[in-house]
Structure 1
Amino acid sequence: MVNLFLPVIGGLGLFLYGMNMMGSALERAAGSKMKKMVEALTSNRFKGVLVGMLVTMFIQSSSATTVMVGGFVNAGIMNLGQAVGVIMGANIGTTVTSQLIAFRLTDYAPLAIGLGVAVWIIIKNQKIKTYAEVLIGFGILFVGMDMMGTGLKPMSELPAFTRIITSLNNPFLGMLVGLLLTTVVQSSSASVGLLQALAGQGLIDMNLAFPILYGENIGTTTTALLSSIGANRVAKRAAFIHFFMKLIGTLLFMTVFKMPIEKLVLAISPDNAVWQIANAHSIFNVLNTIILFPFISQIVRVAEFVIPADEDKKISISKYLDKRILSTPTIALNQAHKEVERMGQMVLGNLIDSKEYLIKGKSQLEDDIFAMEESVNKIHKEIIEYLILLSNSSLNEEDNKTLNHMLLVIGDIERVGDHVENISELAQEKQEKSLDFSALADQDLIYMYETCENAFKIAMEAYQDNNNQFAREVVLLEDLVDKIEMENKRKHIARLNKGECNIESGIIFLDIISNLERIADHSSNISLYVLDQA
């Protein structure tokens, strides 16, 4: 008895592995195209449906797309109305796998695996290797499917199996089986594939297969629901909307549309059970999208009612980072880039405030500067943790280089923040001891301060836009700051010798210009990373 299930379990495992391998390789091959697809999202919901469909066809999982969308909403990349369109598209995109299975390409699976492995071993180009992995994953998927079908065939002779199938003739029970199966497997493509294998061997008829199929469509929403735990209220609403739309569709297809849909599916493919399930799966998701699309605003309002505003909790200080987006590394990397830019702007703001505190004595800025530096340190830590997780993903060569540079850039930004904090502490000491600089010293300090501020500002602009011209400008500014520091030291010694300033003020002055020079150094480092990325 146990031996009968082994090929089914093994086949399901190969199916899942092949699907994940193919999806991961397609995603890496898409690279920046995936990022551009998501960036193309506007208030146009039709585009959202198209993007959701295309992204899901790449990553081979509507659950992963919905989880990712929850992350996008959580990170502020899109609003809830846009998210609904993407989820609808994801539901359509996930039906591609079942349609591929219906083509019965099993005979070509060994060829796909053999060709893919040969290319992967012989060719050194990473991009071509990625396409080879798509072929290998495709082949493994169909080998797994064939294995499941072969394993299921003898079950028709088992009285126990026949009794189980008979007991499931209640459509509601069939729906529950489909829901539980997909929840356990965590892949509607795999559970629908298993259903196709059962139908292909004549083990179940369409009266049972359709309710199971609809249940599997509800089951695919559990992944997003679980992942929304701990997210903000908007991401929770996105997960709920996915569940709600599938539930509405299932209720409609098991009642109002039951007979018309069954007749339509049988008319399209009267003699092929595998095609019937594939077509029913596609029709369910396409028709459900057509029906619900005009009611997106109302669906959003239902989600807002079920998950009210007062449930929101701030869970991190970062704005753009969300671990659920890690399933699409290129987009996750882009979000990390935005967070690095934000971190840089926070440090730049602190640098400007510290000048006001030091030169004009605006002591009211003191608490704000130190509080902001604490926030910068927290964001720095969150970005590092995020990038470490991201580094475990399948990144292409270009993205891997970008990630490594990003780690170096945030280190330099954090060090600039530390030097700003040092200057603020020196300004604090200067005020507490009622020390003054000479008018000439103030003038020299302002010039050096503004040059360093400009260097850091342009460095962040160079990083943001990957602008080599700006980067080269910062390198020149860093050389200028070195000269200004040397000149300021010379002038300071001259003033000291003339008795125009006291020693205690002089020590603070020298410490400040030393910190400013280090700010210029780190700004130059950021620019050099930009030039190296080119």
Structure 2
Amino acid sequence: MIIDKLIQNTEFNLKQSVIMLAGVLGMLLALPVLANGGADAGIEWGVMGMKLFGGLALFLFGMEQMADALKAVAGARMKGILAKLTTNRFMGAVTGAFVTAVIQSSSVTTVLVVGFITAGLMSLSQSIGVIMGANVGTTITAQIVAFKVTKAALLMIGVGFTMLFASKQEKIKHYGAMLMGLGLVFFGMSIMSDGMKPLRTYQPFLDLMISMENPLVGILVAAGFTGLIQSSSATTGIVIVMASQGFITLPAGIALAFGANIGTCVTAMLASIGKPREAVRAAIVHVIFNVAGVVLWIMFIPQLAEVVTLISPSHPELSGIERLGAETPRQIANAHTIFNIANTLIFIWFTAQLARLVERLVPDRLLEEEGLAVSAKYLDDELLSTPSLALDRVRLEVLHMGERVMEMLDRIMPAILNGDHKSLDDVAMLDDEVDILYEQIIDYLGKISKQSMTDQQTEEFLSLMEAVGDLENIGDTIETNMVALGHERIDHGFSISEPTKEVLSGFHKVVKKAVDGAVQSVSQLNTGVAQSVIAMKHEINKMAESAAVHQASRLVAEEPNRIAAYTTEVDIIEKQKRIYYFAKRMAKSVIPPEEIKED
């Protein structure tokens, strides 16, 4: 499991890891220079650099391990909660905070919101409340790392490791990964904290920390660092580690936390590149909310510091740097939480105005120029680390693909019965769009397959693979077979009689209903609709028999080209029966084999 995780992280986060590594190593290489050529006695720069970088690596890996485990355990349930409880902006904010606190990822919450907007389940105005709430949810990380439980870190790692590798139950494995990740967070913190101790007597570093008390300097430094490592939680955690050593005062820590809030906007903007307009708008909302919040509070940092000092635990028995190290971490965590809650309470009243502003800044794109301007609408790599959510996105994309197939079905029968070569070729071209969506879905499913999935998710994955293949086969049947039959009708120069048109159109209407039901059953996991599609087998067979009798009567009629007409019309029915076969297979993929009702 850990090997798979490392492989997927290398593939997905290689760029940011290289940037982070370069930044940290650059900082470490600069320290000897700042130290007047390493003349200061008592500081072993190599050992300190190793502890800082190693501790940071454990800290970041532990956070990601913990977040991934939380998403695996609770991701699917959180999606349902988010969908049901966002009835208004206030409930949306509460729900966004709760979901983000559980799955430890505001970006995943935002991606879910974008999907709901795209699917028409949520308005942009409603989504803004959720995005604001997500900022509150991220503060739980700072609260966790502010607890001084580093002595229990190795115990957490040991217990979590045992649960992860000794248990055969997926749920216990996930809880073990979560506990092990939390232990790595605290262990990394303790290593970084220990590595920083020599800097207590290093005046250039102390002067640098004093400069952070200038709010603009602190905000810019934290924003830049957060933009590089793309994790505001990690930046806040590092700030708390420095505070635990007494390196930074409370005002400086608050300024750094503000900067982390701005820096995390980089992640949202990068995630929106190449995405639908809804995703870009959500990212812009995130930027405006975070930047406006910092601008609003930057002049009130001293007052915020006074408030959190009053409500946070104090240690009057200590003095100097020891007291600063004991009190400041919790104060910074509380300031971070108060800041985000207050901003949400302030801006929640202006969601409609903010939505209108963002819609003006990011207007709807003009209609794409004619051609193959089709692309997946719902697939998002941000959700790959949570297979249950990623599989739900595949279901939505099946609906999108199904819309293209249904358009082919709507147009093929009129083209066969009355159309010309161009109308038939236009239908065939639609299958190119179906093929594009098919390739994108299969590629996304391939990425999901690299994740750690439960047995149930694996079954769902295989069912979706089969269903998507069946839907693509329906498109191919229309393009390759039915379009060719239409061309045959035109090339042989015969017309189809009105009674026969009624028979073929009636049969086609039932087949369309079956395909539409199959797509709905897969996209919505609706077993009831799936059973009704399977039950249509009797109606299809009965209509096919009736059509065969009608065709037999046509064969003995004295009509020109009656043999060619008979062959073409019979083939049309056979191809439609084949389409129903694929629709029925799609429906069966939704229902457990033992529950399928088929006589």
**What is the TM-score of this pair, normalised by structure 2?**
0.80
In 1, are the aligned partners of 2:268 and 2:283 still within 8 Å (CA)? yes
Change (3 A) 1:161 1:301: same
Aligned to 1:379: 437
**1:259 aligned onto 2:319:** no
Residue 147 of structure 2 aligns with an amino acid whose one-letter code is F
In 1, are the aligned partners of 2:395 and 2:524 still within 8 Å (CA)? no
Deviation at 1:43, TM superposition (A): 4.9
Question: 1:272-305, CA deviations, whole angstroms, 9 ceiling, x for partnerless residues?
Answer: 1111111111111111111211122233344344
**1:388 aligned onto 2:446:** yes
In 2, are the aligned partners of 1:26 and 1:130 still within 8 Å (CA)? yes
Change (3 A) 1:400 1:77: farther
Change (3 A) 1:366 1:46: same
Aligned to 1:505: 565
Aligned to 2:343: 288
Q: Secondary structure at the match of 1:124?
A: coil
Residue 289 of structure 2 aligns with an amino acid whose one-letter code is M
In 2, are the aligned partners of 1:27 and 1:328 still within 8 Å (CA)? yes
| The one of 583, 587, 597 aligned to 1:523 | 583
Equivalent residues, number? 533
Question: 1:411-431, CA deviations, whole angstroms, 9 ceiling, x for partnerless residues?
Answer: 111211222232233123213
Query: Matches of 1:238 and 1:294 in 2, distance apart?
Result: 17
In 1, are the aligned partners of 2:424 and 2:486 still within 8 Å (CA)? no
**1:348 aligned onto 2:391:** no
Deviation at 1:167, TM superposition (A): 4.0
Counterparts of 1:475-490 in structure 2, within 5 Å, are: 475-478=534-537, 481=540
Q: Secondary structure at the match of 1:531?
A: coil
Aligned to 1:427: 486
Deviation at 1:338, TM superposition (A): 2.2
Query: Matches of 1:312 and 1:475 in 2, distance apart?
Result: 38
Query: Matches of 1:447 and 1:316 in 2, distance apart?
Result: 31
| The one of 47, 56, 65 aligned to 1:12 | 56
Residue 430 of structure 2 aligns with an amino acid whose one-letter code is M
Deviation at 1:368, TM superposition (A): 5.2
Query: Matches of 1:210 and 1:456 in 2, distance apart?
Result: 58
Query: Matches of 2:296 and 2:162 in 1, distance apart?
Result: 49
- Which one is further off, 482-491 or 239-248? 482-491
**1:123 aligned onto 2:167:** yes
Question: 1:285-343, CA deviations, whole angstroms, 9 ceiling, x for partnerless residues?
Answer: 11111121112223334434444556997974334334444454433322321221233
In 1, are the aligned partners of 2:492 and 2:564 still within 8 Å (CA)? no
Deviation at 1:401, TM superposition (A): 1.9
Question: 1:198-256, CA deviations, whole angstroms, 9 ceiling, x for partnerless residues?
Answer: 1111112223222122111111111111222223444323222222222222223221x
Aligned to 2:25: none
Aligned to 1:145: 189
**1:65 aligned onto 2:125:** no
Aligned to 2:329: 274
Aligned to 2:179: 135
Query: Matches of 1:3 and 1:313 in 2, distance apart?
Result: 58
Query: Matches of 2:357 and 2:503 in 1, distance apart?
Result: 62
* Percent of matched pairs sharing the same residue: 35
Change (3 A) 1:134 1:64: same
Aligned to 2:376: 318
Change (3 A) 1:491 1:70: closer
Query: Matches of 1:339 and 1:182 in 2, distance apart?
Result: 33
**1:407 aligned onto 2:468:** no
| The one of 241, 252, 258 aligned to 1:197 | 241
Aligned to 2:26: none
Deviation at 1:454, TM superposition (A): 4.2
In 1, are the aligned partners of 2:210 and 2:248 still within 8 Å (CA)? no
Deviation at 1:96, TM superposition (A): 0.6
**1:158 aligned onto 2:202:** yes
Residue 489 of structure 2 aligns with an amino acid whose one-letter code is K
In 1, are the aligned partners of 2:417 and 2:496 still within 8 Å (CA)? no
**1:339 aligned onto 2:397:** yes
Change (3 A) 1:440 1:228: closer
Measured on the aligned residues, the alpha-carbon RMSD in Å equals: 3.1
Query: Matches of 1:235 and 1:345 in 2, distance apart?
Result: 22
Deviation at 1:186, TM superposition (A): 1.3
Change (3 A) 1:347 1:137: same
- Which one is further off, 199-208 or 352-361? 352-361
Residue 46 of structure 2 aligns with an amino acid whose one-letter code is V
Query: Matches of 2:276 and 2:378 in 1, distance apart?
Result: 13
Aligned to 2:39: none
Q: Secondary structure at the match of 2:591?
A: helix
Aligned to 2:288: 244
Query: Matches of 1:207 and 1:38 in 2, distance apart?
Result: 35
Deviation at 1:97, TM superposition (A): 1.1
Change (3 A) 1:276 1:374: same
Query: Matches of 1:312 and 1:448 in 2, distance apart?
Result: 35
In 2, are the aligned partners of 1:74 and 1:322 still within 8 Å (CA)? no
Where structure 1 has 5 or more consecutive residues not aligned to the other structure, the ranges are: none
Q: Secondary structure at the match of 2:589?
A: helix
Where structure 2 has 5 or more consecutive residues not aligned to the other structure, the ranges are: 1-44, 316-326
Query: Matches of 1:5 and 1:503 in 2, distance apart?
Result: 87
Counterparts of 1:353-368 in structure 2, within 5 Å, are: 353-359=411-417, 366=424
- Which one is further off, 236-245 or 487-496? 487-496
In 2, are the aligned partners of 1:76 and 1:320 still within 8 Å (CA)? no
Query: Matches of 2:365 and 2:551 in 1, distance apart?
Result: 58
In 2, are the aligned partners of 1:175 and 1:216 still within 8 Å (CA)? yes
In 1, are the aligned partners of 2:434 and 2:472 still within 8 Å (CA)? yes
**1:298 aligned onto 2:353:** yes
Larger RCO: 1 or 2 (CA < 8 Å, sep 6+): 1
Query: Matches of 1:67 and 1:456 in 2, distance apart?
Result: 30
Change (3 A) 1:258 1:324: same
**What is the TM-score of this pair, normalised by structure 1?**
0.89
Change (3 A) 1:296 1:403: same
- Which one is further off, 464-473 or 182-191? 464-473
Change (3 A) 1:525 1:287: same
Change (3 A) 1:312 1:154: farther
Query: Matches of 2:218 and 2:576 in 1, distance apart?
Result: 70
Residue 391 of structure 1 aligns with an amino acid whose one-letter code is S
- Which one is further off, 363-372 or 40-49? 363-372
**1:104 aligned onto 2:148:** yes
